[in-house]
Amino acid sequence: MDKTLPLDKIWNPWHGCRKYSEGCQNCYMFYLDKQRDKKGDDIYKTKTNFKLPLMKNREGFYKIPSGSSLRVCMTSDFFLEEADAWRDEVWDIIRKRSDVHFWLLTKRANRIANNLPSDWNEGWDNVSLNVSAENQKRADERIPILLDIPAKHKGIMVAPFIGPVNISEYLATGKIEKVLADGENYEGARPLYYEWVKSLCEQCQHYNIPFLFYGTGNVFIKDKKVYHICKAYQRVQALRSGLQNPPINKEYPIQKRCATCYRKNTCNGCNWCGKCYQ
């Protein structure tokens, strides 16, 4: 499984959260729930999606094919206290689907160690533990905790990227497998500066660690010019910025994807560009 490729699929076994740190200030889940007259702090176990990785289609095949990568809990936090009662069942599902890679993300790094399954040992091959680090303060708080936890795969998500971040000392340990970065969206979105992303990319290049600039966010500043970028083009602009490690070029397999949005191997009519039809 090539873990350098984008993570396209999402599994939300529960929904809702409680705001936890400054990165949560404009949480997109709260914003989108409000648009639907719902409350983001109404936390519940999802019904049909809870067992998504075990669900099969009419032909008897898993809906999530072998070799997929799943981002877990994208409308919550995997280590949220309120989900403690549901997490063991989710670990069981992850254990059963050893052919699928599960990408777990949390801001609650101090809850990881006490909420791992009893047979975790040195970690599972199909699980990547990731912490959010929205600024230097949260990077210095959460990444050292992650480094001390046994895991086969560890990563850092700098999102929402709201302040410059230097994580060189953590990358130097050789324990971080991948770094992702993304800007902020919706009401009150705070700006992301090109220089912050460039610096982070260079830190990853120095330690030869894969870095993916995933999205610019709504407000992106380069050369003192402010760009307001709509959601549909944020990933395209980020990928075109050249701030990736390894760089996207003819030698790098991501180039085999759609030449415009890089999201799909083949265009399936998504609303990102449509240019791979041409």
- 17 forms part of the interface with ligand SF4 (CB under 6 A): yes
Cα–Cα distance measured from residue 33 to residue 44, given in angstroms and rounded to the nearest whole number: 13
User: φ, ψ for residue 254 (rounded to 5)?
Assistant: -60, -20
CA distance from start to end of the chain: 29
Degrees (nearest 5) of the Cα angle 180, 183, 184?
135
Q: Tokens 């602009």 appear where?
A: 237
x/- letters, 102..141, toward ligand SF4 (CB under 6 A): -----x----------------------------------
**Residue 225: strand pairing partners:** 222
- 157 forms part of the interface with ligand SF4 (CB under 6 A): no
- Residue numbers 160-189 binding ligand SF4 by CB under 6 A: none
Please choose, out of 17-25, 167-175, 177-185, 188-196, the segment that lies near ligand SF4 by the rule CB under 6 A: 17-25
x/- letters, 212..241, toward ligand SF4 (CB under 6 A): ------------------------------
Q: Whole-number minimum distance, CB 235 to ligand SF4, in Å?
A: 19
Nearest to 220 by CA among 160, 133, 137: 160
- 24 forms part of the interface with ligand SF4 (CB under 6 A): yes
The residues near 26 (Cβ < 8 Å, ≥ 6 apart) are 160, 184, 185, 186, 187, 188, 189, 190
Retrieve residue 123's tokens: 């970690």
x/- letters, 67..106, toward ligand SF4 (CB under 6 A): ---------xx-----------------------------
Q: Please, which residue, 27 or 64, has the CB nearer to ligand SF4?
A: 27
Q: Tokens 């912050």 appear where?
A: 196
- 3 forms part of the interface with ligand SF4 (CB under 6 A): no
Please choose, out of 16-24, 60-68, 205-213, 214-222, the segment that lies near ligand SF4 by the rule CB under 6 A: 16-24
User: φ, ψ for residue 236 (rounded to 5)?
Assistant: -60, -45
Please choose, out of 15-23, 95-103, 117-125, 198-206, the segment that lies near ligand SF4 by the rule CB under 6 A: 15-23
Please choose, out of 23-31, 64-72, 162-170, 269-277, the segment that lies near ligand SF4 by the rule CB under 6 A: 23-31
Nearest to 210 by CA among 181, 173, 240: 181
Q: Please, which residue, 19 or 222, has the CB nearer to ligand SF4?
A: 19
Are 28 and 185 in contact, with CB atoms under 8 Å apart?
yes
Residues at the contact surface with ligand SF4, assessed by CB under 6 A: 17, 19-20, 23-24, 27, 29, 76-77, 107
